[in-house]
Amino acid sequence: NAGVMQNPRHLVRRRGQEARLRCSPMKGHSHVYWYRQLPEEGLKFMVYLQKENIIDESGMPKERFSAEFPKEGPSILRIQQVVRGDSAAYFCASSPSRGLETQYFGPGTRLLVL
């Protein structure tokens, strides 16, 4: 059973460009969570999605960031007009259902904004 897949693993963008991060959950998992880890800091929750629905986006910056989890295909975290402060590791986790379910994490995407 393949684990959570994230791509790309490394992404370099110039200021003002768009970054698209993809997450494919574990087989049978329909719940996805995105977390961000700034350099030398802990992980911070960003958003929680179920297929076609955003359940909790309390950790998402108000501007430039959006997330989706379509009926078909991976979850996408989109960052528009990136700035240097967006440089971080972005981790996706998945779980099979809502409630008290263990979240399994992917390897992360490391975004570097030049």
Partner 1 sequence: DAKTTQPPSMDCAEGRAANLPCNHSTISGNEYVYWYRQIHSQGPQYIIHGLKNNETNEMASLIITEDRKSSTLILPHATLRDTAVYYCILHGRGGSEKLVFGKGMKLTVNP
Site residues (vs partner 1, CB under 8 A):
4, 31, 33, 35, 42-45, 48, 55-56, 58-59, 91, 93, 98-100, 102-108
Distances in Å between the Cα of 106 and the Cα atoms of 17, 32, 52, 85, 114 are: 24, 11, 20, 22, 25
Lookup: tokens for 72: 């078909």
Maximum separation of any 2 CA atoms in the chain, in Å:
39
Q: How far is the CB of 80 from partner 1 (least distance, A)?
A: 23
Q: Please say which residue, 6 or 79, places its beta carbon nearer to partner 1.
A: 6
Q: Please say which residue, 17 or 110, places its beta carbon nearer to partner 1.
A: 110
Cβ(97)–Cβ(30) below 8 Å: yes
Q: How far is the CB of 95 from partner 1 (least distance, A)?
A: 8
Q: How far is the CB of 50 from partner 1 (least distance, A)?
A: 10
